[in-house]
Amino acid sequence: MKSTKILAITAIAMLAVFNACGDDKKAVSPVDDLSSSSEAVLPEDQLSSSSEDIAPVSSSSEEAKPASSSAEKPASSSSEKPVSSSSKEVKPASSSSVEVVAPAPAFKEDYRSECSIGEIPTNISNAKLPDPFKTLAGTRISSKAEWTCRREEIGAMYEKIMYGDKPRNPEKVEGKLAGSTFTVTVTDKGKSASFAVAINNAGTKDNPKPAMIGFGGGFMGNTCGSLGGALTGLDIAQIIFNPDNVAPESNRGSGKFYDIYGSNASAGTIMAWAWGVSRLIDALEKYPEAGIDVKHLGITGCSRWGKGSLAAGAFDSRIALVIPQESGSGGASLWRVGAQVNKQKGKQFVQGLNSAGSEGNWMKTTFKNYDGRENTLPFDQHMLVAMVAPRPLLIIDNAGQEWLGEVPSNYCGQASKEVYDALGVSENYTYSQEGGHAHCSLPNGQFDEVKDFINKFLVGKDGIKTGKIDYTKNTELIKWNKSDWIDWETPTLK
């Protein structure tokens, strides 16, 4: 009874933050669930005739509103239970001989200029998850070296279809430190713009510290992400990056990014934020007086900023550790599975593609045209997650948040691990899902996972074991059948 009251008080305390998060409209009990049965979600081509008769999401489905809006999706009036599994085992790293790859060894933003990108398909037919190992030329990669350019192909697909173009190699980037304020000035295409971040607990030029870059500021508070007490006691610097300083969500085409590249730039706010993080790293690299060890940088953010931190980590290989938290649709959550959940529920239970493609100006304006056509996408979000590989990645999810998509997020976590296994770096990947807490309020049960990843991959401590898929703390477990969604073999890349 006591613990129940504590959870209730915590949820009330977080309500103001939750209401501001337009992409996460529904606060639900951790036992609110996909359906009354314990069956796994199946691809469209495997549904029985009775399942296919379930009405799809109506085109008039309610769209999520930007953070500045007071509109809110009402909580479901029904009490429904998630898909469960009788098994509660933690899945360990599958490789018996794990090679931990040093974070960003070449220290380059990306390798796009070194790779030949073929014709990008914009319309395929595949109800299952696309093969991350199959190149645009139709061949499958067989070596770790080939992953470098396959990763760039995946990134090029996302830029063309979903996020818009990320400008690279600006003419000039400068940094200036005044107290704890670090100002980044970018000059490109004959125009300049500046934005500032806050740096706390930095080292010195001669003794720089590893750092976490946390999306923060505005409605989420002036904090380094939403990892809370998990950062306490860690000998790292904390950099607070407010994405609104680069590209506010409220007015597409406004902000420092668009001041340089024009209000009609194809990039949505998520890619603009990723660009801002890359330019921050450029400036830190050129300004060692800031006291930041640029070769040991992590990034984190929650909710819409979980989407942003994941994209930033995916599109910049200099980021040594990526920790997206409760990122939902458009982050580490599968479009195909979310669409099937909504189809089976007969309503928009998980934030759908049209809603996510319209909210916050996150994506290209044309991306929402894939709503109801998710099976025609040449990628799904397991491939965005895979772009981080082989660098360390800790995905933190919150079970019981139906709008976030606890099932499509869980399935994304399961499918993404295949790339880490193929590269022989299973220790570098953990997917953790735990319910029973407020949105963007990290529970104590996930503190150790955060500390372990930061201590191991940023601070450099030895003897720390990482690498698992763990959702054993959920009230109800989700059933994942790999063969339902994956029809390709995971290679062992040499």
Active site residue 70: no
In the block, residue with structure tokens 């990122």 = 327
| Cα–Cα distance for residue pair 146/10, rounded to 1 Å | 47
- Say how many C-beta atoms besides its own lie within 10 A of residue 83's C-beta: 22
Judged by DSSP in three states, 124 sits in coil
Tell which residue, 253, 243, 301, has the closest CA to residue 277.
243
- The sign of the dihedral angle between the CA atoms of 430, 435, 437, 438 is positive
Round to whole Å and give the CA distance between 328 and 404.
4
Gap between the Cα atoms of 213 and 241, Å rounded: 7
From its phi and psi, is residue 94 left (phi > 0), alpha (psi between -120 and 50) or beta? alpha
Contact 21, 67 (CB under 8 A): yes
Angle, CA of 201, 202 and 203, to the nearest 5°:
125
| CA dihedral sign, ordered 32, 37, 40, 46 | negative
Radius of gyration of the chain (CA): 21
Distance CA(305)–CA(215), nearest Å, equals 6
Q: Max CA-CA distance within the chain?
A: 67
Say what angle helices 335-345 and 406-422 make with each other, to 10 degrees.
150
Catalytic residue of the set 226, 278, 303, 426: 303
411, containing H or E segment: helix 406-422
Write the single-letter amino acid at 346: G
Tell me, what amino acid is at 418?
E
Residue 76: active-site member: no
Task: Kindly name the residue from 296, 382, 437, 439 that is annotated as catalytic.
Answer: 439
Query: What residues act catalytically?
Result: 303, 439
